[in-house]
Amino acid sequence: MRTLLLLACALPLAADADSLGFKGVELGSPLARIASDPRHECHAVNTPIGDTICGLRPNEKETIAGAPVVSLFYFYDVDHLSGIQITISEKAFQPVVAALTAKYGASVLSVEKVQNLKGGAFENRTYLWKRPDSSLQALRYSGSLDKSLIRYSDEGALRRLRLRRANKDPNMDL
C-alpha cells in the first residue's frame, strides 16, 4: 500500500519531467514562439544542426536558476526547436545543476580531466539527463575554465537532420 502511494505521488512529477525546455520553450516547439518575442532576433543559417538560429538581442538579459546568462541560442530545423544552448559563468555551474536536478531528477555524471595551456589539471564534470527523444547536458567547462554550458537537444530532430543530409544529392552540394 505504501509503495502504491509513493508511486502515485511521483507520477505527476515524472510526467512533467519528460519534456525538456527552458522557461516554457520546449524542444520541438515552433519557431514563432521565439521569433515573435522582441527580446530575440533570428537568422537563417546553413549549419549541421539547423536552418535558423535565434538569440537574445544586444543588451537583453536572461537568467537560469537566478544566474546571469552569458549567451543563449535557440536552434531550429524546419521551424521546430531542435536545441538550446546556454552559456553561464563557471561560478554559477553547481547552483544551476542543483536547480536542473530539482526540476528533472537525477542525472548521469561523467568526469574527465582537462588541462589548460599552463599544464594545470582540472576535473570537468558533465551531467546528462536523458529522455526518449531528447537530452539535457550540463558541462562544467566549455571552451575555457570560466564558462559552463547547458545544452538541450532534440535527439529525434538530430537523427532526422543527419538522415536528410546523408541522402542529399552530392551534385547539388557544390
Pairwise pLDDT comparison (131 vs 17), residue with the higher score: 131
Q: At 12, is the pLDDT very low, low, confident or very high (cuts 50, 70, 90)? A: very low
Output 94 or 12, whichever has higher pLDDT: 94
Tens digit of each residue's pLDDT (9 = 90 or more) over 126-150: 999 999 999 999 999 998 889 999 9
Q: Mean of the pLDDT values across residues 62-74?
A: 97
Cross-strand bridge partners of residue 113: 123
- How large a percentage of the chain has pLDDT more than 70? 80
- Strand-pair partners of 30: 80
Q: Does pLDDT of 78 surpass 80?
A: yes
pLDDT class for 6, splitting at 50, 70, 90? very low
For residue 97, pLDDT beyond 80: yes
Q: Percent of the chain having pLDDT more than 90?
A: 66
* pLDDT at residue 69, as a whole number: 97
Decide if pLDDT at 81 tops 60. yes
Kindly report the average pLDDT of the chain as a whole number.
Answer: 85
Ordered DSSP codes for the chain:
-HHHHHHHHHHHHHHHHHS-EETTEETT-BTHHHHTSTTEEEEEEEETTEEEEEEEPTT---EETTEEEEEEEEEEETTEEEEEEEEEEGGGHHHHHHHHHHHH---EEEEEEEE-TT--EEEEEEEEEE-SSEEEEEES-SSSTTEEEEEEEEHHHHHHHHHHHHTS-GGG--
Q: What is the mean pLDDT of residues 23-47?
A: 94
Of 13-22, 50-59, 87-96, 124-133, minimum mean pLDDT range: 13-22
Band (173; pLDDT cuts 50, 70, 90): low
Total residues belonging to the chain:
174
